Amino acid sequence: MSNRKSTLFGGSGGDIFEDNLNQVVRMVKVEVYGCNYVDSIRTTYLLTDGSYRVDTHGGPGGSLAGTLTLSEDEYICYARIKYGIYVDNLVLATNKLTHLYAGGNGGDYTREFKEGKVEGFYGRSAIFIDAIGFLFIA
């Protein structure tokens, strides 16, 4: 199966990022940092050679707001994003009903993603996550 991209949710600022899923076996952990906005997202991947790689996007600010440590048969299948010019709030949920909640209460728009198995992330970032989208298998 090949990966697809969801809609990009958020503002137009920041630099483009996209997780490289070559050699990735699976997503192992997602950490989201933030306070009033989603400051950064850090994803740990298990690679085909048995090693791990961590992809980090966004700025250095914010506190650790939440962590999802995924079991071997667990994956992200749902997201709710509240955004304006930045991603204000992010909720991620897995097929085993584990949840992560990060960010503040703002955001002019609210969207949901529930189209498939999330394999990685793409978007725009600088000091915050300006926009986020999902690399997924339908």
pLDDT at 99: 95
Q: Dihedrals φ, ψ of 102, to 5°?
A: -145, 150
Is the overall model pTM greater than 0.85, yes or no? Answer: yes
Separation of alpha carbons 40 and 137, rounded Å:
24
pLDDT at 74: 97
Domain of 27? 4-137
pLDDT band at 137 (very low <50, low <70, confident <90, very high): confident
pLDDT at 126: 97
Q: Tell me the CA distances in angstroms from 86 to 24, 100, 105, 138, one per residue in order.
A: 28, 18, 12, 27
Per-residue pLDDT tens over the stretch 73-91: 999 999 999 999 999 999 9
Q: Tell me what percent of the residues of the chain surpass a pLDDT of 70.
A: 98
CATH number at residue 80: 2.100.10.30
| Tokens encoding 83 | 């955004």
Taking the CA atoms of the chain, what radius of gyration do you get in angstroms?
14
Number of domains within the chain: 1
Instruction: Tell whether the model's pLDDT for residue 71 goes beyond 70.
Output: yes
pLDDT at 115: 86
Report the half-sphere exposure of 35 (CA within 13 A, side-chain side).
Answer: 6
